[in-house]
Amino acid sequence: MLTTIQYNSRKLKIDLSQPLDISIPIKGGASNVNAWYIGPPKIEPEVFDGDTISVAEGAAVNFNTITFNPHSHGTHTETVGHITKKAYSINKYLKQFFFLAEVVTVAPEKQGEDYVISAKQLQFALGNKKRDALVVRTIPNTRDKNSKQYSNTNWTYFQEDAIKLLVKKGIKHLLIDLPSVDREEDGGELKGHNAFWNTKGKLRLDATITEFIYVSNKIEDGCYMLNLQIAPFENDASPSKPILYKVIE
C-alpha cells in the first residue's frame, strides 16, 4: 500500500504494508535481554486469596502483573530527564512520532581495551545527508542481541566527539543496538548523554535516545521513515517500538 506523505517540504513515498520492527520485546525470564546488574523482568499472574488469576488455572481471565526496568529490559526511549534532577517525562516531551531517518552500519574501532564508535565513522556514514533520526547498527550483528546479558561486558560506546557531531548535524533522535551511548563504567561522567542533550547549555528537550534496538541484517542501510512509538509512561523513559518504512525513491 503505497502512501505519499508530506514531510517538512518534501513529498515521500512509503509502503505502509511493509513495516520493519526494530524493537526487542520484553518477556519474562532470564532469556530476556538485560543490563545494569539487575535481575530479569517478571510477567506473572496475580494471586488473590490463594487463587491464581489465569485462564490456565481456571480463572475467567488472564491478569498478569509485569515488573521490569525500561533501561535494563528491552527497547526503550529516554529523554534528558534520565540524567537531570528535574523530571522530564517522555510522555510529555516526545510530541511528534514520525521522523526521516538514516540507517547506518558501523564496525566499532578497537581503542585500548574498549570498542568505540568515532566521529570519523559517523561522518563517513552520514555524509551531508539531512536527517532527524539516526539508526546505528553495530557489527557483528547477530540475533543474540535479543537476549544478551550485557552486565560487566564493557560494551561498545560512542566517543564524545561522535555525539557532538550528531548534534551539529541536527540529529534529534538517536537509536542504537547497545545498552547505552556511554561506557558501562565511566565514573558517572556520561559524556555521550550530556553532549547529546547539551546539559551545559540550552537543553534539547525534544531530543531522544533509544537503546536496545535490533536491526535485522535484512534491513539495508539507507533512508527510512521512522515511527517512534512509546507507551504513555510519565517517566524519563518508556518501553518503545520503533518501526521503519523504506522511503521509495
Helix, strand, coil percentages (3-state) for the chain, rounded to 5, are 15, 35, 50
pTM value?
A: 0.97
Q: What's the pLDDT score for residue 238?
A: 98
Is 81 a member of any domain? yes
Is 201 a member of any domain? yes
- Residue 93 phi/psi, 5-degree rounding, is -100, -15
Is 6 a member of any domain? yes
pLDDT tens digits along 71-91:
999 999 999 999 999 999 999
Domain count, the chain: 1
pLDDT tens digits along 32-68:
999 999 999 999 999 999 999 999 999 999 999 999 9
Give me the helix-helix angle, 160-168 and 119-126, nearest 10°: 30
Q: What's the pLDDT score for residue 51?
A: 95
Statement: residue 147 has pLDDT above 80: yes
pLDDT tens digits along 117-142:
999 999 999 999 999 999 999 999 99
Q: What's the pLDDT score for residue 9?
A: 85
Q: What's the pLDDT score for residue 54?
A: 97
DSSP 119: H
* Residue 157, domain extent: 2-24+70-248
Is 46 a member of any domain? no
Is 147 a member of any domain? yes
Q: What is the separation, in whole angstroms, between the first and last Cα of the chain?
A: 15
Is 14 a member of any domain? yes
Is 117 a member of any domain? yes
Is 51 a member of any domain? no
pLDDT tens digits along 107-116:
999 999 999 9
What CATH number is associated with residue 151? 3.50.30.50
CA–CA separation, 245 vs 15, rounded Å? 7
